[in-house]
Amino acid sequence: MNSPVRHLMQAGRLDRFFIDGEWTMPEGTGRVAVVCPSTEDTLCEIPLGNARDVDRAVEAARKAFAGWSATSPQERATLLDRVHTLMLERVELFAMALATEMGAPISYARAAHVPLAAEHIRVARDNLASYPFRIQRGATAVVREPIGVCALITPWNWPIYQITAKVGPALAAGCTVVVKPSELSPLSALLFAEVIADAGVPAGVFNLVSGTGEEVGTSLASHPQVDMVSITGSTRAGVLVAQAAAPSVKRVAQELGGKSPNVVLPDADLPRAVSPGVAAAFRNMGQSCSAPTRLIVPRSVLHRVEELALAATQRMIVGDPFAETTTHGPLANRAQFGRVQKMIEAGIDEGAELIAGGRGRPAGFTSGFYARPTIFSDVRTDMTIAQEEIFGPVLAILPYDSVEEAIAIANDTVYGLGAHIQGTDKALVRAVAARIRSGQVHLNYPAWDPQAPFGGYKQSGNGREYGIEGMEEYMEVKSILGYYD
């Protein structure tokens, strides 16, 4: 038995939810197996909540809202600081949970998944120090107030990172929350609930109910006492949540799918443009909604790009997520492994040129949800692999003959979450960035910025996460006329 499961089992957490400051038995009787993606073994079972569990959690959050929303920004910052400190103290336990439940390489979990998740808490804490909750506009006071009880629905691909990206700003704003983590990767969420409890966050401010989207997700989205829903997931899931939320006219923030372009301009330094681009596309085994999985390159240098991309994949080590040398682990679950295989088949069937990887598992693997890092070249924009989100280690290289065509290819998608542009002429790079229809654009692989608003155009969703804008999603605006008379 692995350490995170043993820890949670010994603490009596695995069969419980965290509601109103207590680890409580569920009302629902359903259960689901948590499967280790590297071995396909069942790690444990967790309970699945139902509408009555949702009612209990929402009631606790509603009861706690009056007190929590009245706390000062400094009080909330102090509690968030404790959460941040405890997360960093428990990096190894979180990292082991992520390697176990969704196959993140242990080194990558330590270096990225957990510390970047902690950064969302730090940013929320720091933003409270100077945020103007009330500003003067003539004689009017414009006040931002917490929206209320928030349902936070999070995915399996970046489990703890997506929880903190929502919980941090929501609590900073003065909201209370009910979190529904993915039932496919629940261990890190339970560990985070322990952090919340140990940090001394008041009862009812943070609640956690595991369950399916059909049952718990729908119950939260439609609940009349929930004021807002924030979901990170597929576009299909976002649509269903919005439909369930519509009758109660609550706010819905959606961070959904993506098919992000990486435009390599004609003057780009190819080694600096291509190798990091492949790494970015295959980060987290390609299971990132903003992964730049469409590499758009000048046709005149297509063969050189292919050579560099192939060399980049050959440096990757797909293997046991607990091995220190592993750079890429398995896909997170059986369903995703099956989808990736089907999409690779579609690329082959539609005539794209396969230059790396392909069907099946890497050599030496007969079990586990391991996929081969795969690159297709000479891809047309009308091919399935150029249009549909794959959510796996599959890169499509699309050639172009002019910068205008490159921009058109980049925008030829129903999504608009992220984009990358590579080039040495800064004026041209910025001009192209201005014409890309996406919520984030990265120029020449900049450092990650947790204060940069993140969210999508088109079917990639609405609303923003991270930074000041992420906190403002959890607020209402009130105008008090005559306040300064």
What average pLDDT score do residues 257-283 get? 98
What average pLDDT score do residues 301-312 get? 98
> Residue 431 half-sphere exposure, CB side, CA atoms within 13 Å?
10
Backbone angles phi, psi at 137, to 5 degrees: -135, 90
pLDDT-based confidence at 94, cuts 50/70/90? Answer: very high
pLDDT on residue 443 = 98
Which one, of 208, 172, 202, 413, lies nearest residue 294 by Cα?
A: 413
Strands of 147-209, DSSP E:
149-153, 176-180, 206-208
Which one, of 322, 279, 237, 285, lies nearest residue 445 by Cα?
A: 279
* Residue 14 near residue 177 (C-beta atoms within 8 A): no
- Percentage helix, strand, coil, to 5, in the chain? 45, 20, 35
315, containing H or E segment? none
Rounded Cα distance between 93 and 187, Å, is 10
pLDDT-based confidence at 198, cuts 50/70/90? Answer: very high
What average pLDDT score do residues 41-65 get? 97
What average pLDDT score do residues 338-353 get? 98
For helices 91-102 and 114-128, what crossing angle results, to 10°? 130
pLDDT in tens, 60-72: 999 999 999 999 9
pLDDT on residue 148 = 98
Residues marked as catalytic:
255, 289
Name all domains of the chain by residue range, CATH numbers in brackets. 3-256+460-480 (3.40.605.10), 261-449 (3.40.309.10)
> What is the CA angle 55-57-60, rounded to 5?
105
pLDDT in tens, 203-224: 999 999 999 999 999 999 999 9
Q: Which residues are CB-contacts of 238 (< 8 A; sequence separation ≥ 6)?
A: 231, 254, 256, 461
Give yes or no for residue 23 having a pLDDT over 70: yes
- Amino acid identity, position 340: V
pLDDT on residue 204 = 98
Percent of the chain at pLDDT exceeding 70: 100
pLDDT on residue 104 = 98
What average pLDDT score do residues 296-309 get? 98
What average pLDDT score do residues 321-338 get? 98
Give yes or no for residue 366 having a pLDDT over 80: yes
pLDDT on residue 236 = 92
Give yes or no for residue 1 having a pLDDT over 90: no
Give yes or no for residue 290 having a pLDDT over 90: yes
What average pLDDT score do residues 166-177 get? 98
Q: What torsion do the CA atoms of 178, 256, 121, 167 make, to the nearest 10 degrees? A: -10
Give yes or no for residue 306 having a pLDDT over 60: yes
Give yes or no for residue 435 having a pLDDT over 60: yes
pLDDT in tens, 142-160: 999 999 999 999 999 999 9
**Token pair listed for 308:** 């560099």
376, containing H or E segment? strand 374-377
Give yes or no for residue 475 having a pLDDT over 90: yes
What average pLDDT score do residues 103-120 get? 98
**Token pair listed for 247:** 């009758």
**By three-state DSSP, how is residue 349 classified?**
helix
Give CA separation, 291 vs 35, 209, 440, in Å.
Answer: 25, 29, 12
Q: Which residues are CB-contacts of 329 (< 8 A; sequence separation ≥ 6)?
A: 37, 38, 99, 103, 104, 105, 285, 318, 319, 320, 321, 370
**Average pLDDT along the chain:** 97
Percent of the chain at pLDDT exceeding 90: 99
pLDDT on residue 2 = 58
